[in-house]
């Protein structure tokens, strides 16, 4: 049986889109659930912003959205509280060797900058999915890199040298709070340990 090439292309795109970034998101969600259960930190993923176009109503309680579109986020995906402090981060997964800066929009950079200015804890979690390594990069370092460089991506070597490898475990999956504790609340965290 022959399919028109257009249909096949569309199917492949669906699968790609559906899986994109889901592994890191799932790992972070399960980590945040663990932190909540163990009373370590209260961190939630914000819902994806959606522009509603058409809504129908059976009654006031049963609204059905018939047409809507994903919106570009103006802030980061995750925020919450740890040790009384405000904590805010964006998480991105990339299949490329280096981290493309196009992954983070200018509103998000503005937002991270603002959080730092207001004495919050801001960072990015970046996963290189091909080699399965996940790094925490401090917001301060990320913004410094963006301002000092005309490059369109942050090289993997930068992460290797200056950022903090988050080891994968069974529970919690990605213990990034350990790194936050050491970076912002004292104690030493050995890079890439």
**Residue of 16, 102, 106, 188 that binds its own copies (CB under 8 A):** 16
Backbone angles phi, psi at 116, to 5 degrees: -65, -45
Site string for its own copies, 83-112 (x = CB under 8 A): xxxxxx----------------------x-
Q: Which stretch binds its own copies (CB under 8 A): 77-85, 126-134, 151-159, 164-172?
A: 77-85
Site string for its own copies, 163-182 (x = CB under 8 A): --------------------
**Residue of 19, 26, 38, 42 that binds its own copies (CB under 8 A):** 42
Q: Which stretch binds its own copies (CB under 8 A): 67-75, 131-139, 160-168, 183-191?
A: 67-75
Q: Is 63 in the site for its own copies (CB under 8 A)?
A: yes
């Amino acid at each position: 049986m022959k399919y028109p090439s257009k249909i096949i292309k569309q199917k492949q795109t669906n699968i790609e889109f559906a899986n994109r970034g889901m592994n890191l998101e799932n790992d972070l969600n399960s980590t945040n659930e663990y932190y909540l259960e163990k009373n370590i930190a209260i961190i939630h993923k914000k819902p994806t912003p959606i522009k509603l176009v058409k809504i129908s109503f059976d009654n006031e309680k049963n609204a059905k959205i018939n047409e809507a579109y994903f919106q570009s986020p103006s802030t980061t995906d995750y925020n919450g509280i740890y040790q009384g402090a405000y904590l805010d981060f964006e998480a991105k997964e990339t299949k490329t060797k280096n981290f493309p800066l196009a992954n983070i929009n200018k509103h998000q950079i503005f937002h991270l900058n603002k959080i730092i200015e207001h004495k919050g804890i801001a960072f990015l979690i970046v996963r290189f999915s091909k080699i399965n390594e996940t790094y925490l990069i401090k917001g301060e370092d990320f913004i410094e890199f963006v301002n000092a460089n005309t490059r369109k991506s942050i090289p993997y070597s930068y992460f290797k040298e200056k950022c903090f490898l988050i080891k994968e475990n069974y529970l919690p999956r990605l213990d990034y709070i350990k790194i936050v504790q050491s970076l912002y609340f004292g104690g030493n965290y050995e890079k890439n340990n």
